């Protein structure tokens, strides 16, 4: 499972830090979500649970929407700020991201409970906090898009901080899994 968490970590990293060369993104978000999907598949092979299977399914939708968004932004000749479909697509992508991370953490908590690893309450608390703050970030982004104000920036910063927290959780789960095999 260590490799699965490792891939999820790097997938979230890629989706968070896009490298651009003029008009072309070196590592667009859909590539990061593809890496996350491969990590979820590794977790699902190691520990069968509906949570990991649903996370894999939802991440495929996330890949498709991210790819569509990249194609629209790359080939669009219209003013993207007036293209309202992209606003709705951003909200759907945010909701899918929340669900994918939620299901990954939920499956990880099930794994910890099944293997009687006693730190699962810590991850239950982290999952609850992540969900609450991600919903707040999404609402702020929606308000900012609707009212065209700085709430969108605040929501974006909060969402970015939450992605970093996901990377920390995946790194800790990877290390935890390694410790379990060393004993």
**Percentage of the chain surpassing pLDDT 90?**
57
Task: Please give the model's pTM, rounded to 2 decimal places.
Answer: 0.87
How would you classify the pairing of strands 20-21 and 24-25? antiparallel
Residues in the chain predicted with pLDDT less than 70, given as ranges, are: 19-24, 75-85, 177-183
Residues 6+ apart with CB under 8 A from 22: none
Domain boundaries, the chain: 2-182
Q: What pLDDT is stored for residue 21 in this prediction? A: 66
Q: What pLDDT is stored for residue 118 in this prediction? A: 84
Q: What is the pLDDT of residues 106-144, one digit of tens each?
A: 999 999 888 888 888 899 999 999 999 999 999 999 898
């Amino acid at each position: 499972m260590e490799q699965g968490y490792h891939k999820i970590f790097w997938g979230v990293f890629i989706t968070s830090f896009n490298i651009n060369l003029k008009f072309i993104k070196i590592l667009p978000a859909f590539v990061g979500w593809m890496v996350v999907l491969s990590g979820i598949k590794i977790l699902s092979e190691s520990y069968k649970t509906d949570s990991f299977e649903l996370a894999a399914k939802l991440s495929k939708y996330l890949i498709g929407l991210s790819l569509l968004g990249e194609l629209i932004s790359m080939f669009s000749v219209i003013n993207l700020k007036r293209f309202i479909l992209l606003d709705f697509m951003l909200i759907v992508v945010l909701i899918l991201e929340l669900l994918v991370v939620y299901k990954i953490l939920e499956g990880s908590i099930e794994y910890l409970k099944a293997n009687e690893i006693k730190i699962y309450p810590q991850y239950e608390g982290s999952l609850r906090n992540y969900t609450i703050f991600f919903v707040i970030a999404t609402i702020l982004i929606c308000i900012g898009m609707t009212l065209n104000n700085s709430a969108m920036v605040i929501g974006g910063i909060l969402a970015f901080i939450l992605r970093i927290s996901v990377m920390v959780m995946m790194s800790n789960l990877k290390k935890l899994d390694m410790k379990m095999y060393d004993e």
